[in-house]
Amino acid sequence: MTLFSLLKLSHVSLGTNDQVWLTSALTDADVPNALTLCFSLRRVLTPRRLGVIVSPKVSRVLREALNFGFDFVFYFEEDRNTAGLENEEFVKLFALTLNTFERAVLLSPTMFFLKNCDELLDNVEQSTQQLAWVKTGDTSVLVLKPSLPLFNWLMKALEKRNGTGFDGFLTTWQNNQSSRNNFLEEKYNRRMFGDVAMLLG
C-alpha cells in the first residue's frame, strides 16, 4: 500500500462527515493541479474529507486518477448553468448544490497547502454565513454553506445582471446581506496557500 493510500485511509477514519474541502477539474490540464492540492491537504493532516468537481470534458483515465486521490468525485452539471457563466465561475455556484454537506471550502485547483488551515471550517462567526471570501474580491478561496434555494436564486439573478461581471455581482450581493456577515481574513488567499505553478516551475 502506498503512502498516499495510507494517508487517505487515516484521514477517512478521522474525518468530519458534514464538512469538506473542494476543488475542481474542468479540463485534463487541471487534474495534476487538483491532485497536487489534494496531496498537500493530506500532508497537513486535515481531518476533513476531500472532494473534486469534475467536468465531462476530463478524460476517463484522468477521472479515475481523481477517484484514487479524493474521497468524493462530483460531476459538473453544465446544463444547470442557465446564466451562461464561464465554467470557472459557474463551478463556484455549483458547489452550493452539494447539500449533503453542512460546510465546504472551495479552492482554486492551482493552490497547494503550506500549513493546516482547518480554522476556515471551524470559524463559528461564519458558521451560519452562506458565502464568504476575502474583502478584496478574490474568490479563489470560497467558504460556503450549500443551499439549493440560494443556488437557484443566484442563477436567476445572474440571468438579469445586465453586463455586470461575476465577481462584481457577488460583491454587490454580499454587500446587501446582513451586517453580521464577515469577510475572510486577507491572509486566506493565494499568498497563504501557495501556487502550483511556483511549486512545479
Quote the pTM value: 0.84
Q: Give the model confidence (pLDDT) of 150-180 as tens digits.
A: 999 999 999 887 767 888 888 888 878 765 6
CATH number of 3-200: 3.90.550.10
For residues 12 and 7, give the distance between their C-alpha atoms in angstroms, rounded to a whole number.
9
Q: Give the per-residue pLDDT at 193.
A: 62
Cell of 104: 465546504
> DSSP 3-state assignment of 62?
helix
The residues facing 48 across adjacent strands are: 16
Q: Give the per-residue pLDDT at 115.
A: 86
> DSSP 3-state assignment of 84?
coil
Q: Give the per-residue pLDDT at 200.
A: 41
Contact yes or no for 51/98 (Cβ under 8 A)? yes
Residues in the chain where the model's pLDDT stays below 70 = 1-16, 124-128, 163, 178-181, 189-201
The H or E element containing residue 12 is: helix 3-14
The domain ranges of the chain are 3-200
